[in-house]
Structures are given as structure tokens and as C-alpha cells.
Structure 1
Amino acid sequence: MSEDEKNPAREVITDYAQSHFRYFRTADGTVYAQKNGHPVARPIRSQGTTGSHRQELMVGLFRDGRGVFNGTALKEALDLIEALALTEDTQAVHIRVAPGFDGATWLDLGRTDGQSVRIHPTGWDIAIPDPREVCWRRTQLTGELPLPAKDTDDKGIDLLLRLCNFATAETECLAIAWLIGCLGPSVPVPAPFLTGPQGAGKSTAGRMLLRIIEGMSSDLRRPPKDEDNLTAAVAAGWVTALDNLSHMTPDLSDAMCCIVTGIENVKRALFTDGDVHRARYRRPLLLTGIDVGVIRPDLAERLLPLRLERPRVRRTEAELWAEYAEVLPVILGSLLDLTVKVRAAEAETPTDLRMADFAHLCAQLDAATGLGALTAYRASLDDLNDDVIEGDLLAQTVLKHADSIEPGADQRMTSTEWLHCLSRLYSSDDLRPLPKGWPTTGKVLSDRLKRLQPTLAARGVLIDTGRTSEGRYLEMTRQATSPPHEQQGAF
């Protein structure tokens, strides 16, 4: 008798697994297992504390009376299943938010029964998604959301704004726009930066916004010390909320830019010599803090400042969060109602803003409600440009020099000549020493000016580069008319 006939355990496991689970692979080659009729998929190699496929397979075999099998048989069966799955068509897995069929999107409620919210052009409903349409991936960061309430008459939005201490109506409409953007899987949204005086409830408001999307178990975090830990945390959840930022290093600033607009992270795969692991992600980001110091121009275009004020009446934490938990189903239901209205509204897409998708969403929100979100968004970017200029002596010097150029005229020099010109202007004929961080070469100046281009353009100063037979040059042009955002006005 052959060894296989003596020990058919791996065949028993394989037959049971293929009859009770669906196996497929993602674009990066990871094989997932999905229990028949349930939308949640687990990597078959995962050993995470949220439950692995190996564990659910062992439990299923035991409860169905198939027996208890040793590790060798399980390993051999899973090796075969993984090899077979690699020949199947690929399918994506999603965390929290996913695109569906016919223009619909899905919101994972994080429930064990798999119930999710399907947001479609005519409304929203609660259902268990078909595995061919949506496969959910869950981690320890996937909290459970309550079933949203129907027929709220938009009361939930008012309840949320009453609990938060937003300083102005413009800030409130930007917060609402951001929440709607978080429900869209393909819309990059700027990162709200909750700021205000000490005691304004920035952390509390941040938690409230976060828990609408991620559930009551989610919380704010301290910024990780390195980019690897930050990207690992970001990839495992949907909304990442960083609390009490007081300093923004260049590396952290660049990482946040990548998180907001999307990036692919490639690492060497574990236990291999030449293979790699790919992780693509674009996630909503939320920040809180009083002041983060100098903001780099590229991050400023991806921020959404939300200012808060100190509350007149203080409440205990227990009282506040008890009320929040009670009204969260109404808040979520009202947000879903408003999302359907906004997506159905028609509006032109502004062409002069970098985050064009979010600007279009603000325009749709205005068309649906008349809140003035787009005007508020433009004004917030204008304020951020002021912050960038106030923290950058080079930008201040460039604008000072531009005042000497006639409107509509341009001035062209090499980067080295521009460095000497701007350095003399700042130091006022060598009476003042150049500050730390001032460009030391023409190449460094050219790179700095490229980074400052959007900020300077918002103030009517255009920086361009080119090449002639004599070499490369930098050209500064002072616009003859006001920049577009000034022409359209601000509140």
C-alpha cells in the first residue's frame, strides 16, 4: 500500500477547502481565500491575530466532523491550493471602501455577518456584496460601524457639527466635503489639518470625524518614527489620523504627499533572494496640531486647514462620547444621504487647482446644498500659500524682486545669476548675512524654485525654465492680471 493511500489527509483537506472556499489571487500575486457566501477574504499565508485562513479551515474541518489534522497535511494541502489559485484570474481586495458595478461604491461596516452599504446613483442600501463585485480585506484597524439610520432628514450633519467646535461655517462645509470624499475609492482628498488654540478640542473633533468612517474602536496615533512604519500602518487601514503634530520633517512631509495622492511601495519579499512585494495605496489622511512650523509647498497643496475654537461649555468625556455613540447611526445615515445627492449633482470641474477631484466634489456639494465649499477651499489654499511664504525667506525675496518687474514683463538669467541677484537683494549689499538653508549653488536654487512654483504662481509670479544655444536659463514673469483665485473672489 502506497504512502498516499495510508494517509489521504491532504486530499481530504483539499476537497473540503475547494468545496467551502473560493480561492483567487490579486494583481501582486497574493492568494486569498473567501468563504462561500461571505465577502471577507483572508490571505492564505496570513498568521495575523485577526484570524488566518489556516485557522478557519481547521475549525471548519473539526466542526463538520472531518477530523483534526496535523500541520504537515495542512501545509501540503495549502501549498497545492495556492499553486492552483495562481492560475486563476486576478481580483482586487479592498479595505473599507470599494468600487462596485454600475457606478456604485461600497462601504464595509466591519460586521461579522458581512453586511455593507452599497451607495448607488439612486440611493443607498444595506446588503452583503456578491464576491464577484467586492472582496473585503480586514485587519486589526478595521473597526465595526453601526447600521446607518434611514430617513434622517439630514439631522445627523447638524448633530455632528454641534458636537465639534469648528470656528466658521466655511470650515464646517469643508469638513463635510472631506467626509464625502472619504467614501469615494477613486477620489484623492486633501488631508484635513485640525488646528486652533490649546483646549479647542482638536483631538476630540479628529476622533469624531475618524470614527464616522472607521468605527468607535479607531483612534488617533502619534506619527511613526520612520517611513516604513508609517506606510505599514497606512496600508492596513483606510483613514490614518495623526495627532498633535508639532514638527514636520522633510521626509514626513514627502511621505504624506505620497499617501494623499497615491504611491507604490516595493520591497524585497521575505524569505526570497530576488522576488519583490508590491503595495499600492492611496488613503485619506487626517492631522491635528497647533502649529507644525514651516509647511513645504507640495504638502500645502494637499492640506485642508480646519480651524476650531475653544468651547464655551465643557463636558465630560463619558457624557460626550455616550452622546456621540448614540447619534452615530444618524450621522452616518445623513452622510450617506448627502453623498448620494452630491454625486448626482452636476458641476464643472475647476481647472486651476491641483486637487481637481476634490475641487469638483466641492463644486458638486455647492450645487446640491449651496454651502459655498469651493470658495472656502480656494480661500483655505490661499491661507496656506501665505503660511508657506511666511516660512520661506527665498519665496519672500523672489516676490520682493518681482515687484520691480513691470506687469506682463519677464526677466531671464542663468540660475547662478539669479542666485547672485537674490542673495544681494536679501543681504542688502552684504549688510545682512544669508540665512541657514539659503541656496549655495545655482542648481540648488533652481530646484527650490521648482518646488515653490505653485506658491509663487498663486501670487502672480511665474517661474519657467528653458535652454538656448548658450545654456539653460530661469525666467521670471510677473503676470499682467490677477491670479484666477483672486479674480473669482474669496469669502
Structure 2
Amino acid sequence: MAEDEKTPAREIITDYAQAHFRYFRTTEGTVYAQRNGHPVARPVRSQGTTGSHRQELMVGMFNDGLGVFNGTALKEALDLIEALALSQDVQATHIRVASGFDGATWLDLGRDDGRSVRIHPNGWDIRVPDPREVCWRRTQLTGELPIPEKDTDGKGIDLLLRLCNFANAESECLAVAWLIGCLEPSVPVPAPFLTGPQGAGKSTGGRMLVRIIEGMTGDLRRAPKDEENLITAVAAGWVTALDNLSHLPPDLSDLMCCIVTGAESIKRALFSDGDVHRSRYRRPLLLTGIDVGVIRPDLAERLLPLRLERPRVRRTEAELWAEYAQVLPVILGSLLDLTVKVRSTEADIPTDLRMADFAHLCAQLDAATGLASLTAYRASLDDLNDDVIEGDLLAQTVLKHAAGIDPGAEIRMTSAEWLHALTQLYTGEECRPLPKGWPTTGKVLSDRLKRLQPTLAARGVLVDWGRKNTARYIELTRPAVPLPEQSAPMF
């Protein structure tokens, strides 16, 4: 055959790719390739990395006898394929969990054969999802989960709680509720904070909870030093677990709030002067540590303290993890059974809690099992409010001032007048020095009170802002009728 009669290599590659793969784009404009009948999608632009679509395409053509093609032909073919895919249907990709059709959700087992768990209020089973229903995206953080066992009769939950060192039943039921919440992609869940004395097994307990969702390769990590690295780690997995925290600076605290309830990060795209890269994230977050110091009020409403105690009998790491790996299929099966039972149970939605979806999940869990997880959740929020107040001298001073107000009375003053009154109350007759961080202007005081507003409301002190004529004022009220517990304003 003459040279000019040969089919160009890029055309051979393009024809093969379109015959064996499905190409689509996400809302962010990223083009993905999905082998026909397989749910795992790989970005077309991912080159040179393990499991990339470029490698997948090269191996497929070699195994089918088409030979080996040079990099220029592959690049030209993939450029054309990517351009054609930009006009195709838009579909989202998911890591680990995804919403499906008919009210079902899916759990990616991380297996090469694509088998996943379909969870429905009528039951759960293992199957390969329709690629047009679920597209899995996998990274180096996506570990493989074992095939969960059927008909466990709930013994897996008991096995998990026996391996962990939870100090009380309240922490146990909240841990179970959090695990169920991790299997629901549309429900934001508060971040469990595993606390306890040194040697209580906080890191080990955190790993056990994480590996139920992320597999045996899932692990804890140190908090990154900057926001960009943390967002990158969060976007690459489902559960993010930060170990041995001892301090929560304001920037990290604010970022954790965004991770729990959802946010978006935008940065300049690499090798581009005009385009941007979007990262949307809302992920389950887990923390461990003995003490993190002062907790900001907005983060306190998104935390779930789980208390651990020192075990009476110590075991070697090898023995402990060998037993855990052996019972993990039973634990996962029991968790799936309980998830199905909870989702099929009706319960009233608590309207007085900020994390209303998780509070509703707790109410469903209580109705399905007879536990008291919602009561435990309210008690944990109350404890966190105490922690916030104990770490904030301004909050303590406001409550001290409110204690001298008659129930039902309202006091209105400008921010500057409030600052003067609270400062005098704190310094007292002995004129003790003001602490570091005490408000220096009325504006700073007003901003601090806005952060403390939910915490103060939980203690029966309402703070509100208004304007009369041309003057703005801050109003402090002690209602005559006690407020319902945790009736903090919603933001």
C-alpha cells in the first residue's frame, strides 16, 4: 500500500476510542472517558499517571492487535476527542458515594470490576451501576473495600464498638449516626472530634471509623500548613481525617466550617493566563486530639465530640488490625443493614438545630433502634457551648451582665455604650487589665457579638441589632419564658 493510502494513526486511535469508550464533560468543563459498560471515569487530560486514560487507551489498542502508537498521534487524537466531547451531555463524577435513580445511593467499593453497593430504603445489593447513572472518579486516596456480608443481624456494629474505646453510650450512638451520614452524599454531617486522655486510642479509633468508608488504605493525616493543600486533599477523597490537633487557628477553623457544609474554591488553571479551575467540596471530616484550645462558635455548631477512655487491656497493633480486617466485611454489612432500616423510618425533623439534616438522621435512628442519639447530640452541643463560653471572656462578661437584668426586660445601647459598660464590668473596682483580644472599638464588639449570638441564645440571652431614627443600637434581652434548648438562630 502506498504511503498516501495508509490511514493516519490519529484516525485509527480516534475510531478505536469512540468505539470502546464513552466521553462526556462535567459542569466544570473537564472531559472524562468511561469504558463501555464500566462505571469508572478517567479524565482525558490526565497523562503519565497510574491508571490514566492515555495508558488505558494504549493498553487496549496493543491488546487488540492494533500496535503501538507514538505520543504525537495519541496527543492529536485525544485533542480531537476532547473537543468533540465538549458538545456532549453533561454528567457529574463522584468519589466514593453518589446519588442514583429512584431515591437510591451508591457506595463505590473501589474494585477493578466496578462492583458497587446500591443502597435503597427497600434494601441493599451489590451490582455494577449503569454508567449513565453513576460515574466514579478514583484517585490514589480511593482504597478498596471488602465485599460486605449479608444477614449479619447487627453484630458488626457490636464488633466495631468493642474494638473502639468509647467512654459512654452517647459517643457510641453518635459515632454510628455519623457513619450512616457518611453514606448519604446530600446530607452534611458534623465533624466527629475524638477526644480523651493520652493513650485512649484516639488515632486508632479514628482510623477504624475512616476505614469503614475508605478501606484499609485510609489513614489519618496532619493538618496541612496552607488552605490550598487541604482543599486538594479534601477534593481527592471522601472522608478527610486530621490527627492530633492541638490548636485551631481562625483560618483553619473557618476552612473546616466550609468543608463540613460545603464551599467552592477557584484558582488559576495551570499553564493558563485566563482560565480558572473550580473545586467544589463538601466532605465528612474527622478530627482527633486531646485539646484544641478555644473553639470558635461557628465551628462548635459543626462538631460532634466523641469521648474515648484508656483501655484496661493493651493489644499489639498487628493483633488489633488483623482482627479489624477480618471483621470489616461484617461491620460494613451491619452498617448497610442499619442504613436501610434508618432510611425507611419516618421521624419528625427537629427545627431548632443548625445541622437539621443530621438531627433528622438521629431522630430516624432513634425511631428505628430505640437509641437516644438525638438527645446525645443536643447534649454534645450544650457541652460545646460551655467550651466556647469558658474560652471567651467577652461571652462570660455578657452573661454576667445579663444575669442582672429582670426576665423580660430589654436593654438598648449603642455599640460604644455597650463596650464601655462591659469593659467596666470586666475590670471591676480593682481595675484589672483587659485581656488580649478584648474589643477596642464598638464595631469590633458588634462583630464579636454576632459570632457569639447563637451561643448566648442557647443560654437564654438574646442579642439583636436595630436602628432608631439615625442611631444604630444593640439590644440585649432575657426572655421571661425560658428558650427551648439549643434554639440558636439559624444563619
TM (normalized to structure 2)?
0.97
Deviation by residue 1:242-287 (Cα, 9 ceiling, x = unmatched): 0000011000000000000000111111122221111111000000
Contact 1:348–1:360, Cα closer than 8 Å, also in 2: yes
Contact 1:346–1:364, Cα closer than 8 Å, also in 2: yes
Q: Quote how far apart the aligned CAs of 1:470 are.
A: 2.5
Contact 2:191–2:304, Cα closer than 8 Å, also in 1: yes
Q: Which residue of 2 aligns with 1:19?
A: 19
Identity %: 84
Q: Quote how far apart the aligned CAs of 1:482 are.
A: 2.2
Q: Which residue of 1 aligns with 2:164?
A: 164
Q: Which residue of 1 aligns with 2:119?
A: 119
Deviation by residue 1:419-467 (Cα, 9 ceiling, x = unmatched): 1111111011461111100011111111100001110010001111112
Q: Which residue of 2 aligns with 1:438?
A: 438
Counterparts of 1:379-394 in structure 2, within 5 Å, are 379-394=379-394
Question: Residue type of the partner of 2:264?
Answer: E
Q: Quote how far apart the aligned CAs of 1:7 are.
A: 5.9
Deviation by residue 1:99-138 (Cα, 9 ceiling, x = unmatched): 0000000000000110000001100000000001000000
Q: Quote how far apart the aligned CAs of 1:483 are.
A: 2.6
Segment of structure 1 superposing worse, 459-468 or 171-180: 459-468
Q: Quote how far apart the aligned CAs of 1:468 are.
A: 2.1
The CA distance in 2 between the partners of 1:3 and 1:428, in whole Å, is 97
Contact 1:50–1:139, Cα closer than 8 Å, also in 2: no
Return closer, same or farther for 1:81/1:229 CA change in 2, 3 Å cut-off: same
Q: Which residue of 1 aligns with 2:460?
A: 460
The CA distance in 2 between the partners of 1:224 and 1:2, in whole Å, is 60
Counterparts of 1:60-459 in structure 2, within 5 Å, are 60-429=60-429, 431-459=431-459
Q: Which runs of 4+ in 1 moved over 6 A?
A: 1-4
Q: Quote how far apart the aligned CAs of 1:317 are.
A: 0.6
Return closer, same or farther for 1:270/1:3 CA change in 2, 3 Å cut-off: farther
Return closer, same or farther for 1:50/1:357 CA change in 2, 3 Å cut-off: farther
Deviation by residue 1:295-335 (Cα, 9 ceiling, x = unmatched): 00000000000000110111111111110000000000000
The CA distance in 1 between the partners of 2:101 and 2:4, in whole Å, is 45
* Equivalent position SS for 2:165: coil
Return closer, same or farther for 1:360/1:234 CA change in 2, 3 Å cut-off: same
Contact 1:39–1:134, Cα closer than 8 Å, also in 2: yes
The CA distance in 2 between the partners of 1:378 and 1:338, in whole Å, is 22
* Equivalent position SS for 2:451: helix
* Equivalent position SS for 1:485: coil
The CA RMSD measured in Å over matched residues stands at 1.4
* Equivalent position SS for 1:484: coil
Contact 1:23–1:34, Cα closer than 8 Å, also in 2: yes
Contact 2:187–2:358, Cα closer than 8 Å, also in 1: yes
- How many residue pairs are counted as aligned between the two chains? 487
The CA distance in 1 between the partners of 2:111 and 2:480, in whole Å, is 58
TM (normalized to structure 1)?
0.97
Which structure 2 segments of 5+ residues have no match?
Answer: none
Question: Residue type of the partner of 1:172?
Answer: E
Q: Does 2:3 correspond to 1:8?
A: no
Deviation by residue 1:349-405 (Cα, 9 ceiling, x = unmatched): 111100000000000000000110000000000000000000000000000000111
Q: Quote how far apart the aligned CAs of 1:2 are.
A: 11
* Equivalent position SS for 1:397: helix
Deviation by residue 1:207-231 (Cα, 9 ceiling, x = unmatched): 0000000000111000000110000
* Equivalent position SS for 2:359: helix
Contact 1:193–1:287, Cα closer than 8 Å, also in 2: yes
Contact 2:48–2:55, Cα closer than 8 Å, also in 1: no
Which structure 1 segments of 5+ residues have no match?
Answer: none
The CA distance in 2 between the partners of 1:50 and 1:72, in whole Å, is 20
Question: Residue type of the partner of 2:63?
Answer: R
Q: Quote how far apart the aligned CAs of 1:473 are.
A: 1.1
Contact 1:294–1:391, Cα closer than 8 Å, also in 2: yes
Q: Quote how far apart the aligned CAs of 1:30 are.
A: 0.2
The CA distance in 1 between the partners of 2:447 and 2:486, in whole Å, is 27
Contact 1:182–1:189, Cα closer than 8 Å, also in 2: yes
Return closer, same or farther for 1:430/1:413 CA change in 2, 3 Å cut-off: farther
Q: Quote how far apart the aligned CAs of 1:481 are.
A: 2.3
Question: Residue type of the partner of 2:237?
Answer: G
* Equivalent position SS for 1:294: coil
Contact 2:353–2:486, Cα closer than 8 Å, also in 1: no
Segment of structure 1 superposing worse, 67-76 or 289-298: 67-76
The CA distance in 2 between the partners of 1:211 and 1:166, in whole Å, is 17
Contact 1:107–1:116, Cα closer than 8 Å, also in 2: yes
Contact 2:48–2:54, Cα closer than 8 Å, also in 1: no
Q: Quote how far apart the aligned CAs of 1:409 are.
A: 1.4
Return closer, same or farther for 1:451/1:61 CA change in 2, 3 Å cut-off: same
* Equivalent position SS for 2:485: helix
Contact 2:224–2:230, Cα closer than 8 Å, also in 1: yes
The CA distance in 2 between the partners of 1:269 and 1:48, in whole Å, is 19
Contact 1:49–1:140, Cα closer than 8 Å, also in 2: no
Q: Quote how far apart the aligned CAs of 1:4 are.
A: 7.2
* Equivalent position SS for 2:77: helix
* Equivalent position SS for 2:475: strand
Question: Residue type of the partner of 1:356?
Answer: A
